[in-house]
């Protein structure tokens, strides 16, 4: 969606200041929020794309003034409430007030390391041949979806070159909407910086973006 999370190439937000790798957390509540999000994700009540959409669809003033794990927690609260697993009153109280319905699966403590190591593979078998091959010139579609998407705003409408084929993967746009996996080919596409930002871009700047086939047209 065209939300506050899609900041690539936008001016007025200052430089990106990378944080050191450690410490991983900056407050005692952050690892708890992280653990709760992972544990609930493992229940199968929603997909990773639904979780991303819950976070990115927060109101822009909330999103832009919240820390990383505040955004994760707010997205989790939204998912839990939408599925009838918590109430507004419970979120305000910070504890259970009534018995919740059973969830599909429960992540046991002794299975956490194994589950995290396994991850959630998104690659699927191909049902159709790839439309593009390395070296093909492609144009990212101009699109403004109201739901989740993984195509950045700054590359829409611009021409790049396919450099790699990453196989067939779950299509995030439909996965986030609960409309099925609809696996699609995923490509590594290279864009010249001047194609994206115009002649003011440094000549040695290029971008490489992984884009699903439904995002692309032949150039």
Give pTM, 2 decimals.
0.92
> 155: closest CA among 171, 165, 145, 142?
142
Do the beta carbons of residue 87 and residue 78 sit within 8 Å? no
Low-confidence ranges of the chain (pLDDT < 50): none
Q: For the chain, where do the domains classified as CATH 1.10.472.20 start and end?
A: 29-118
Helix (H, G, I), strand (E, B) or coil at 165: strand
**H or E segment at 76?**
helix 68-82
Output the pLDDT for position 16: 84
Instruction: Tell me what pLDDT residue 192 has.
Output: 97
8-state DSSP, 164: E
Instruction: Please give the pLDDT value at position 187.
Output: 98
Helix axes 48-56, 68-82, angle to 10 degrees: 110
The CATH classification of domain 123-218, taken from the options 2.30.30.50, 1.10.8.420, 3.40.190.100, 3.30.70.1530: 2.30.30.50
Please tell me the distance from the alpha carbon of residue 27 to that of residue 127, in angstroms, as a whole number.
46
**CATH 2.30.30.50 intervals, the chain:** 123-218
Per-residue pLDDT reduced to its tens digit, 144-195 = 999 999 999 999 999 999 999 999 999 999 999 999 999 999 999 999 999 9
pLDDT (0 to 100) of residue 15: 85
At residue 165, the pLDDT reads 98
Percent of the chain clearing pLDDT 70 (strictly above) = 100
Looking at residue 11, its pLDDT comes to 84
CATH code of 29-118, in short, is 1.10.472.20
What pLDDT was estimated at residue 13? 87
């Amino acid at each position: 969606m065209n939300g506050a999370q899609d900041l690539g190439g936008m001016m007025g937000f200052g430089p990106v200041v990378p944080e050191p790798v450690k410490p991983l957390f900056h407050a005692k509540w952050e690892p708890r929020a992280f653990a709760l999000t992972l544990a609930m994700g493992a229940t199968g009540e929603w997909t990773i794309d639904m979780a991303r959409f819950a976070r990115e669809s927060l109101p822009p003033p909330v999103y832009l003034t919240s820390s990383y794990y505040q955004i994760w927690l707010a997205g989790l609260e939204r998912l839990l409430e939408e599925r009838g697993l918590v109430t507004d009153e419970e979120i305000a109280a910070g504890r259970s007030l009534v018995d919740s319905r059973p969830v599909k699966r429960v992540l046991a403590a002794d299975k956490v390391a194994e589950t995290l190591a396994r991850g959630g593979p998104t690659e699927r078998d191909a049902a159709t041949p790839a439309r593009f091959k390395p070296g093909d010139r492609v144009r990212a579609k101009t699109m403004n979806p109201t739901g989740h998407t993984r195509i950045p705003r700054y590359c829409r409408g611009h021409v790049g070159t396919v450099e790699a084929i990453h196989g067939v993967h779950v299509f995030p746009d439909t996965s986030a909407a609960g409309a099925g996996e609809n696996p699609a080919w995923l490509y590594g596409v290279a864009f010249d910086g001047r194609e994206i930002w115009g002649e003011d871009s440094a000549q040695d700047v290029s971008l490489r973006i992984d884009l699903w086939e439904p995002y692309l047209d032949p150039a």
